[in-house]
Amino acid sequence: MSREYSHKNLLLTSTTRAFGSVQRYIQGPGELKNVFAYGRKYGDRFLFIVDSGVIDMIRRQVEVIEDRAGCTCVFHSFFGECCQENVDLLAKVARESGCNVVLGVGGGKVLDTVKLTADAVDLPRIIVPTSASSDAPAADWAAVYDINGVHLGGVPTTRCTELVLVDSTIIARAPARLFAAGIADALVTWYEAEANERAFTPNYIGKGYARSLAGMAIAKECHDVLIRDGKIAYEAVKSKLLTPAVENIIEANILLSGLGFMNTGCAGAHGIHNGISEIEEGKQFLHGEKVAFGLLGEMVLENAPREKLYEVMAFLDDLDLPITMEQFNIACSDENLEIIVDHVVYKNALIHREPTMISPELVRDAIVAANEFGHRYLSEKKG
């Protein structure tokens, strides 16, 4: 194990605590129409960097806004990974556009890329998610991949996002699969917060500090809202309905989870996700879907009570989320496990935030056991 990726080198060095946050969060139906009214305080020429899959829809909605508060805008389509090559490309676009506000619209990868782009050109940023598929919108942090989609690590941004603007009508009309993936990504927030608290590891604010009471409270509230409203909200979104439960889960998936993980820390669930991203078949699945299985592996690693493990599996299964590796089309073979475990243990630090000694053998056995528990649950469910 390299010195960088060991628990010893992740330990807190002081009792100083810290809390960080985006500057402003606004969520509600139809709020995209107010983008210029809200954004005018940051600038008057907006570079819209939009996920290629939704750019036509967003352009239509933005271009018909009659009162732009004296603002103009330029559109640029984005497709690909949050990688250095794309950050460099978009920074060049931002400089040449003459814009003074960078605005990202879409899913996690485009939003993370926009955060780093705004850092690179030192401009205010506005984040507009089109799904509640992850906690990326409200996190001053970016998950960085190589150009082929292999996860490299997390990078803190140098500035706090000026505004996260969430149009819940758009979110409710996005594919329900994205909504479910966001619930999984948000669900792990509390479990990883507890792991970091027990392990005495730092959060992601600045150089890393002890968790504040506010950070832990947000992570816990995120979990409780998801357990209470997650299933009923998922059913509503499958019918493209916007209900109070859906609004609650949007806030949990985006705001509570984003602030929760930034102020408490990630751990084993995201570490296992990173390992799965090494397998070609795993790249075809959503971040939250891989994190869902990662949570089961973390729970096995932490020796969680079996009844609690089954409760989590039942919750994930009700949301049509994967609880076995085979549901990712990944065989639980020696060859695949070697690739996954090597990445989890030696290529990222997250597994070393767990409150237990880590070895390749332990991680491998936890993944295999989680997979077997998942198959057993599905078998018992069939009766």
CA distances from 278 to 86, 129, 274, 282, 333 (A): 20, 26, 7, 7, 14
Query: What is the Cα–Cα distance from 261 to 278, expressed in whole angstroms?
Result: 23
Query: What is the Cα–Cα distance from 263 to 192, expressed in whole angstroms?
Result: 11
251 sits in the region (left: phi over 0; alpha: psi -120 to 50; else beta) called: alpha
User: Which residue in 15, 19, 38, 1 sits closest to 265, CA to CA?
Assistant: 19
Query: What is the Cα–Cα distance from 248 to 255, expressed in whole angstroms?
Result: 10
User: Which residue in 131, 91, 90 sits closest to 108, CA to CA?
Assistant: 131
- Which helix H or strand E contains 141, and what residues bound it? strand 141-145
The residues assigned a catalytic role are 185, 270, 273, 287
Query: What is the Cα–Cα distance from 317 to 379, expressed in whole angstroms?
Result: 12
- Which helix H or strand E contains 45, and what residues bound it? strand 45-51
Torsion of CA 203, 205, 206, 211, to 10 degrees: -50
Query: What is the Cα–Cα distance from 37 to 3, expressed in whole angstroms?
Result: 50
Three-state SS at 211: strand
Would you say 141 and 154 are in contact if contact means Cβ atoms under 8 Å apart? yes
Going by the DSSP 8-state scheme, the letter that residue 212 receives in this structure is P
Residue 135's Cβ-count burial label (10 Å; 0-12, 13-18, 19+) is buried
Query: What is the Cα–Cα distance from 106 to 303, expressed in whole angstroms?
Result: 38
Query: What is the Cα–Cα distance from 166 to 382, expressed in whole angstroms?
Result: 39
Question: Side chain identity at 107, as an amino acid letter?
Answer: G
